[in-house]
Amino acid sequence: MVAWLDTLIQGVLLGGLYALYATGLSLIFGIMRLVNLAHGDLIVFGAFLILALATALGIDSVLAFAIAVPIMFAVGYALQAFLFNRTLGADILAPLLVSFGLSIVIQNGLLEAFSADTRRLPIGEVAGMSLPLGGGIAVGVMPLLSLAAAIVVVVGLNQLFYRTGLGRALRATSDDTETAQLMGIDNERIYAIAMGLAMAVCAVAAFFLGSRAPFDPSIGPARLIYAFEAVIIGGLGSLWGTLAGGIVVGVAQTIGARVNPEWQILAGHVAFLVVLVLRPRGFFPRAVD
Amino acid sequence: MSAPLLETEDLTAFYGDFQALFGISLTVNAGETVAIIGANSAGKSTFLKAVAGLLPSPPGAIRFEGENIGGARPFNNVGRGIVLVPEGRRLFPSLTVEENLLIGGYRRRGRWTLSRVYELFPILAERRGQPAAILSGGQQQMCAVGRALMGDPRLLLCDEISLGLAPIVIRDIYAVLPTIKGEGTALIVVEQDIVQALAVADRVYCFQEGRMTLTGRPAALTREAIHAAYFGT
């Protein structure tokens, strides 16, 4: 019984990391209906950026992460302003293909710059620290922090969306781009801000990805799949749903691994398919689409 | 004599290969209410979309206060004070009534505040926290007009604001137009309902199949002339 409880807790914590992967994807889809196939690679890019900043400047990974967040925002803003905005229109295939191409470019660029070697973000002793909960159950500090970070990100984004003028403009543009322009909103600038925000969240995901497990330039697409599953399970366009979706994937994976270590990844995909069959619009779909 | 607030000259507009407007030339002066009447597909809404910047227009075909605004993006025109109340209201369904109103003032604010809009449409104050999607048709139209006012329009473009509404609701909405005009705002009112349009307009233009077929002051137009311009018979 304790072992299953432990499995559940570890799954929820893993779900926090998956929710971080997924939040940026959910945000971009919710606002501009763009499925960014390069999302996983952009998270890996963020991890290498933090590593490169820490190495080049000789600073702590946490400080490098703090510097990487605004840089990633700028990267996202520029990507949208100079690349994706040129592809948006009635045809959804063009941005999808561009994001697929971007994924290949990022993977090969990272291979060229950093080689195929696996890396890890050095964060010192905290990487191995855990908190005993009693009854033989302990939770790792970093997994706990990644879940906390996911909650902070979702709360923060919801505050932005529902309490600020920029948030209203983001939601209005998501509802009806043409009418938003008639209200004085520059939709392309709003899209660029949204992509900037998504990339800033990717930096957070990248920090926890790189500090919890080894990474290399090829692991982006798998992160994309976990993120995609979390978004679909949670319901398109809902950030709290995305958090819940991440936790569902995480719990399914740890339960699968508990039954048989080889079933970890498979169990996550099966949970996704089951939800897709039973609730095609996910747990918390947007009321208006 | 100062330049008209809005002037179009040989304005054409296309949807793909289909030409919807053929050389429309008209003027709207500051503080004036102009009605554009015509049957379905006459090009009335297309004209408003072109002025608002939703449709491309030839260079030099649209001037606002003497400035060429042909090809300007819609959000830049809002900055100039050209605000459209779109056909079908097109409120933002996931935003509350108050959020819809506030979005109207995203780029430009001025004479119209939330409290003044609520004074104009008291029902909106009662429903300010509710999603705009659940309002009745008339309340949605009030919200759409209020949202446009929040952008402090100098030229308000009203596209079929009576469409699909009960007569009593139409009367209530048209009753606020003199107040809006009283603020010095010019209006272009596009309507199929000729009686409503003639009642509020200083001047009338009639469109038929993308061409202007009649212009004049309402009192000077005969029923026969309007009928001929409207239906082409």
> Would residue B94 count as lying in a domain?
yes
Q: What pLDDT, on the 0 to 100 scale, is given for residue B197?
A: 85
Chain B interface, Cβ < 8 Å to A: 52-54, 73-75, 78-79, 83-84, 86, 90, 92-95, 99, 102-104, 106-108, 133, 147, 151
Q: Enumerate the residues of chain A whose CB falls inside 8 A of the CB of residue B75.
A: 181-187
Share the mean pLDDT of chain B. Answer: 90
Backbone angles phi, psi at B68, to 5 degrees: -70, 120
> Would residue B36 count as lying in a domain?
yes
Using alpha carbons, select from B18, B11, B69 the residue that is nearest to residue B41. B18
| pLDDT category of residue B231 using cuts at 50, 70 and 90 | confident
Share the mean pLDDT of chain A. Answer: 93
Contact check, Cβ <8 Å, B95/A178 = no
Q: What pLDDT, on the 0 to 100 scale, is given for residue B221?
A: 79
Contact indicator for B230, B38 with CB cutoff of 8 Å: yes
- Quickly list DSSP for B170-227: HHHHHHTHHHHHHTT-EEEEEES-HHHHHHH-SEEEEEETTEEEEEE-GGG--HHHHH
pTM of the model: 0.91
Question: Residue A192: is its pLDDT beyond 90?
Answer: yes
How confident is the model over B104-126, as a mean pLDDT?
A: 92
> Would residue B1 count as lying in a domain?
no
Domains located in chain A, CATH noted: 2-116+141-278 (1.10.3470)
Question: Residue A288: is its pLDDT beyond 80?
Answer: no
Q: What pLDDT, on the 0 to 100 scale, is given for residue A125?
A: 86
Q: What are the pLDDT digits (tens) for B22-66?
A: 999 999 999 999 999 988 888 999 999 999 999 999 988 999 998
- Quickly list DSSP for chain A: -HHHHHHHHHHHHHHHHHHHHHHHHHHHHHHH----TTHHHHHHHHHHHHHHHHHHHT--HHHHHHHHHHHHHHHHHHHHHHTGGGT-SS-SHHHHHHHHHHHHHHHHHHHHHH-S--B----GGGGG-EEEEETTEEEEHHHHHHHHHHHHHHHHHHHHHHHSHHHHHHHHHHH-HHHHHHTT--HHHHHHHHHHHHHHHHHHHHHHHHHHS-B-TT-HHHHHHHHHHHHHHH-TT-HHHHHHHHHHHHHHHHHHHHH-GGGHHHHHHHHHHHHHHH-TT-SS--S--
Q: What pLDDT, on the 0 to 100 scale, is given for residue B224?
A: 80
From the list A169, A186, A287, the residue facing B103 with the nearest CB is: A169
Rounded Cα–Cα distance for residues A203 and A143 (Å)? 16
For residue A181, the chain B residue with the least C-alpha distance is B75
Contact indicator for A271, A252 with CB cutoff of 8 Å: yes
Contact check, Cβ <8 Å, A176/B92 = yes
> What is the total count of domains within chain B?
1
Q: Enumerate the residues of chain A whose CB falls inside 8 A of the CB of residue B134.
A: none
- Which structural domain range is residue B87 located in? 6-231
Q: What are the pLDDT digits (tens) for B131-166?
A: 999 999 999 999 999 999 999 999 999 999 888 888
Q: What pLDDT, on the 0 to 100 scale, is given for residue A286?
A: 67
Q: What pLDDT, on the 0 to 100 scale, is given for residue B233?
A: 67
Percentage with pLDDT > 90 across chain B = 64
> Would residue B88 count as lying in a domain?
yes
Q: What are the pLDDT digits (tens) for A69-128?
A: 999 999 999 999 999 999 987 788 999 999 999 999 999 999 999 999 999 999 888 888
- Residue B155 sits in a domain whose CATH number is 3.40.50.300
A–B CB contacts, 8 A cutoff, strictly below = 71
Q: What are the pLDDT digits (tens) for A209-221?
A: 999 999 999 999 9
Is the pLDDT higher at A242 or at A133? A242
